[in-house]
Amino acid sequence: MTGTTLFFAAFLALSGTAEQTLRVVPLPRDGEVLVSFQLAQALTPELRTAIRSGLMISFVYKIDLRRSSPTWLDRTVASAVVRATVKYDTLTRRYHLTRVFDGSTDTADTTDSEETAWAWVTTQFERLPLFRRVPLESNAEYYVRVRAHTSPRNASFVWPWQGDDAVGLAKFTFFR
């Protein structure tokens, strides 16, 4: 087996193990970029047990607006962090949900539905105004990259994905 064939086989084996999907949809309009994203991942029994124990679980999404470059490195135009947190209260049997954008609490809620709580941390991110007053150049190619990880990271729990992050990105060309 040649080195190239071995590399290609290893790449296919590694890419085939990824079960999660992080979908990203940018929407540039009126001097801002709205971002929608969702992590298509089922709630694992291990994560369900961790949440039901009362442990606060956060899904941290790091979002970068980047400009494609013909040279080696792309340029980061702006960055944002979205933290979605779920904490199960074992006495009231309710889920406490919070969402924080760049350190400021955006929304807080409670529910008694596990499905609603899971959607809160994985799929309910629609048209978030994360990048306002960002100077975008006409006819330039950009992309939004979203990286996700859980917190706390504890070796005794099996998190929804292996490795450090789940990553998704979507490209767009800005037209004025």
Give the tens place of pLDDT for each residue, 101-121. 988 888 899 999 999 999 999
In sequence order, the 6+-apart residues with CB closer than 8 A to the CB of 44 are 158, 159, 160
pLDDT number for residue 20: 52
Q: Which two tokens stand for residue 101?
A: 């954008």
Give the DSSP H or E segment for 7: helix 3-16
Is 83's pLDDT higher than 60? yes
Over residues 126-142, mean pLDDT: 89
Domain ranges of the chain: 22-174
Q: How far are the Cα atoms of 51, 57, 62, 94, 103 from residue 82, in angstroms, in the given order?
A: 19, 14, 7, 23, 8
Amino acid making up residue 23: R
Is 156's pLDDT higher than 50? no
| Helix, strand, coil % over all residues of the chain, rounded to 5 | 20, 50, 30
pTM reported for the whole predicted model: 0.80
pLDDT number for residue 82: 96
Across the chain, mean pLDDT equals: 82
Over residues 144-171, mean pLDDT: 72
> Cβ(168)–Cβ(37) under 8 Å?
yes
Q: How far are the Cα atoms of 73, 129, 142 from residue 27, in angstroms, in the given order?
A: 24, 10, 11
Tell me the per-residue pLDDT of 1-19, one tens digit each, with 9 for 90 and over. Answer: 443 333 333 333 333 334 4
Please name the residue that has the structure tokens 């991942």.
41
